[in-house]
Amino acid sequence: MQFIKFLSNIAMPLIIFLILAHGIVERKRIFDIFLEGASEGIKITLKIFPTLVGLFVAISLLRGSGLIDFIVNIISPLLKIINFPEEIMPLALLRPISGNASIAIATDIMKNFGVDSPIGLIAATIMGSTETTIYTIAIYTSSIKVKKTRFILIAALLADIAGMAASVVVCRMMSNGFS
């Protein structure tokens, strides 16, 4: 365990050192290359900034309006039929849209049910096995000016649904096997 902690502490300084050493050996102008990269990073940030603002506003409206709770109430009979925990549904709805919102919801779930509870384990597994799909697609496609994202979105959301379903199934199997 100490060795892993040691590696963790030296990882970033070691990477920086290796990059600098490689630049010196190859006789590259390291600082000029760094400045070019930083300049490109700022340009990309300015390109995607309107997309970010739109996503953040939409997420705030979703959370503040109570629409998530309304949707969960409407689909709760279906959730009972397929044996999907109703408590996880707000996380399942917001995870593809926002990392921050889903972290807040997962934290709330774990605070209310406990981290070692079946619901807490499912929430943690969903957080680790799914992606903020809409956010990621919006950022990547807006930075390279892709307009037609329908097929990308469908495939990515299906992967998220599969990840969430697998999280529920695997966590339930593990909790039943350990009890």
Half-sphere exposure of 140 (CA within 13 A, CB side): 10
User: For residue 142, what are its two tokens?
Assistant: 């807006």
**Assigned token pair, 60:** 């705030």
pLDDT, residue 17, reads 92
HEC secondary structure over 36-56 = HHHHHHHHHHHHHHHHHHHHH
Residue type, 67: L
What is the per-residue pLDDT across 46-73, written as a single tens digit (0 to 9) for each? 887 887 787 778 777 877 888 888 888 8
Give 22-39 pLDDT, tens digit per residue. Answer: 999 999 998 899 999 999
Sign of CA dihedral 36, 42, 43, 45: positive
Per-residue model confidence (pLDDT) at position 177 = 59
135, with CB counted inside 10 A (0-12, 13-18, 19+), is buried
Flag residues of the chain having pLDDT under 50. Answer: 179
The pLDDT of residue 179 is 46
Query: What span, in angstroms and rounded, lies between the C-alpha atoms of 148 and 168?
Result: 32
Measured CA to CA in angstroms, residue 30 lies from 12, 33, 44 at distances of 17, 5, 21
Q: Using alpha carbons only, what angle is made at residue 116 by residues 115 and 121, rounded to the nearest 5 degrees? A: 75
- pTM comes to 0.65
